[in-house]
Structure 1
Amino acid sequence: MGKPYSVKAMSEDLRKKRCIPCEGGIPPLANEEIAKLMPQVLGWHVVPVEKTSRTMDTLQKTFQFKNFREAMAFLRRIEDLAESEGHHPDFYVHYNRVDFTIWTHAIGGLHENDFILASKIDQLLENT
C-alpha cells in the first residue's frame, strides 16, 4: 500500500469545490501540499506508480460492496459525478470490490482536482 497519512476529521471544504480544467504546464502537488489535503480524503492512500518510464503519485482506495450488482450501481453514480466534474478516475472491478486510482494525466501526478474527486466519491458512498 502507499504512504498512509494520519487523519482526524473529514473536512467539507473539498466537497464544496469543483474540478477546474488542467491543461498541464504546472507541476504536480508537492508532498507538503498533499499532506495538507489528505485529512479530507479518509481512507485514500498516496501510491507511487510507474507510468511512461517515470514514477508519479496517485490516490488509491478500495471500496467493498455486498455483491457485483451493488458495485456496478455505485460505478453508475461515479459516471455521472466524473462527467459533471470533467475528471475521470481509473477503476477496476473485482466482483464486489472496486479499486479506484486517481491522478491528473496532464501533469503526471496529483492536482487538487484529484482530491476534490476523491472526496466526492466518498460522499456518494455515504449518501447511498
Structure 2
Amino acid sequence: MPALEKEQCEACRADAPTVTPEEQDTLMQELPDWEVIKVDGVNQLRREFRFRNFVQAQAFTNRVADLAEEEGHHPAILLEFGKATVRWWTHKIHGLHRNDFIMAARTDRLFEE
C-alpha cells in the first residue's frame, strides 16, 4: 500500500461513513504526532506545529491553506506566534473520513519540507 500521503482523496458524500474505530487505530499508526479530539461531539484530527517565529508559522499556514484549496478539503487552522494548530475532519459527515488522514499526512510532509 502506498504511503498515506500519496493516496488520492475521494469525493465525499453526505452519506459517506466515518472511519471505524479499527480503521482509525490503523491510520493513526501512520500519524504519530496527531491526536483524535472531540469538538462539539465531532471527532477531529489535531496537531500543533512549532516554529521559531510568527513569519515561519504564517508561511506554513499559507502552504496548508494552498493544499486545502487544491483538494477542496479545508481544515481549521489557528495561527499564533511560533505555532500553528491544524484540525482536519469532514464537515459533511460530522466526523473523520480517510481523506482527513491523507490530508494530515500531507500536512506533515509540508512541515518536513
Partner of 2:29: 39
Would you say 1:76 and 2:66 are equivalent positions? Answer: no
Structure-1 residue corresponding to 2:5? 15
The equivalences for 1:1-128 within 5 A come to 13-50=3-40, 55-127=41-113
Counterpart of 2:21 in structure 1: which amino acid? N
Query: Which consecutive unaligned segments of at least 5 residues does structure 2 have?
Result: none
The total of aligned residue pairs comes to: 113
Q: Alignment RMSD, CA only?
A: 1.4
Which structure has more helix as a fraction of its residues?
2
Secondary structure of the residue aligned to 1:20 is coil
> Structure 1, residues 92-118: CA drift from partner, whole Å, max 9, x if none?
112111111110001010000000000
* Secondary structure at 1:93 match in 2: strand
Identity of aligned residues (%): 40
Stretches (4+) displaced over 4 A: none
Under a length normalisation based on structure 2, what TM-score does the superposition of the two structures give?
A: 0.93
Q: Secondary structure of 2:29's partner?
A: helix
Return the alpha-carbon distance in structure 2 between the equivalents of residues 89 and 25 of structure 1. Answer: 20
Unmatched segments (≥5 aa) in structure 1: 1-10
CA distance in 1, matches of 2:17, 2:9: 17
